[in-house]
């Protein structure tokens, strides 16, 4: 090779080296700049809210789940009614035998009947004797069917409407002077809308007992008696 050819070879090699150096320098310069910039984002959906959080986007999934559960609920069978809902009335553990209870606090408690109320309920009629007075004791009672109504002491007959007569005798009661409250001033109560109770005849206090008669329709029906307190009252339920 001549001297001119050698120069040509050296010149080509130098150009090639310069070109390679230029390319390497450009890559090194642009590399860090690209690494410091965020990747180009993918274009968002036009309906998406760019400020929404993951929990907000998740609410859409929950909503679709609610729709599914609603569909399942429509297909689910309705729960059957319980026995108590299908019965014509509440359980009534009662019979026609006399019902008795002893008073408490005798000599220290003085009570008077202040009101007599009656109302129809599902399966029975309820007669309530409200009591008030002094002392912490409670009244007693004897409630029973009798062949004829009559006043204590005199024995005079008392007219009571009904096919059977339920006599209510409350013990542990006192005169208004001792109890400090006014006694019920009514006489005959003829309720409306009741099925078992035809009439109530109140006969006042006599020697420690307060008596009333309940006229019952269609003969002797089972009944129950119990005490309620705060306020004090004796309850007589007569089954339909």
Whether the CB-CB separation of 116 and 162 falls below 8 Å is answered with: no
Give domain status of residue 43, yes or no: no
pLDDT at 89 exceeding the cut of 50: no
On whether residue 13 sits in a domain, the answer given is no
pLDDT tens, position by position, 201-238: 999 888 889 999 999 999 999 999 999 999 999 999 99
Q: What is the pLDDT, as a whole number, of residue 153?
A: 79
Range of the domain at 113: 99-239
What pLDDT score was predicted for residue 233? Answer: 95
Pair of tokens at residue 88: 């014509």
Mean pLDDT across the chain, nearest whole number?
74
Spatial distance between the Cα atoms of 28 and 220, rounded to a whole number of angstroms: 113
Select the more confidently predicted residue: 161 or 21.
161
Three-state secondary structure of 5-22: HHHHHHHHHHHHHHHHHH
Give residue 90's pLDDT.
52
- How would residue 113 be classed by pLDDT, with cut points 50, 70 and 90? very high
Q: Is position 195 within any domain?
A: yes
Q: Give me the CATH number covering residue 163.
A: 2.60.40.3500
- Residue 57 exposed, middle or buried by CB count within 10 Å (0-12, 13-18, 19+): exposed
Indicate whether 92 pLDDT > 50: yes
Res. 196: pLDDT tops 90: yes
pLDDT tier at 155 (50, 70, 90 boundaries)? confident
pLDDT tens digits, 45-60: 434 333 333 333 333 3
- Answer whether residue 15 is part of any domain: no
Confidence (pLDDT) at 198: 97
> How many domains, in total, are found in the chain?
1
Flag whether 119 is in a domain. Answer: yes
Residue 143 in any domain: the answer is yes
pLDDT of the residue at 197 = 98
Question: Does residue 10 carry a pLDDT above 60?
Answer: no
Evaluate whether residue 222 is within a structural domain: yes
- pLDDT confidence of 130, banded at 50, 70, 90? very high
Whether 204 is in a domain gets the answer yes
DSSP 221: -
**66: Cα within 13 Å, side-chain hemisphere:** 6
DSSP letter, residue 135: S
Interior CA angle at 20 toward 28 and 1, to 5°?
165
């Amino acid at each position: 090779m001549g001297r001119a050819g050698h120069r040509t070879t050296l010149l080509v090699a130098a150009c090639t080296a310069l070109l390679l150096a230029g390319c390497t320098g450009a890559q090194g310069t642009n590399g860090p700049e690209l690494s410091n910039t965020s990747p180009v984002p993918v274009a968002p959906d036009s309906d998406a809210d760019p400020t929404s959080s993951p929990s907000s986007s998740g609410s859409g999934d929950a909503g679709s789940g609610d729709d599914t559960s609603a569909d399942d609920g429509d297909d689910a069978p309705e729960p059957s009614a319980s026995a108590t809902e299908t019965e014509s009335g509440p359980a009534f553990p009662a019979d026609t035998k006399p019902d008795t209870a002893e008073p408490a606090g005798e000599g220290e408690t003085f009570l008077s009947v202040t009101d007599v109320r009656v109302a129809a309920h599902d399966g029975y009629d309820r007669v309530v004797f409200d009591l008030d007075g002094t002392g912490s004791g409670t009244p007693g009672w004897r409630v029973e069917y009798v062949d004829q109504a009559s006043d204590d002491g005199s024995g005079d007959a008392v007219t009571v409407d009904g096919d059977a007569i339920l006599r209510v005798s409350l013990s542990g009661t006192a005169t208004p002077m001792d109890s400090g409250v006014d006694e019920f001033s009514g006489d005959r109560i003829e309720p409306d809308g009741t099925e078992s109770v035809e009439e109530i005849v109140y006969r006042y206090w006599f020697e420690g007992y307060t008596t009333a008669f309940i006229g019952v329709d269609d003969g002797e029906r089972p009944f129950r008696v119990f005490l309620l307190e705060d306020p004090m009252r004796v309850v007589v339920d007569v089954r339909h």
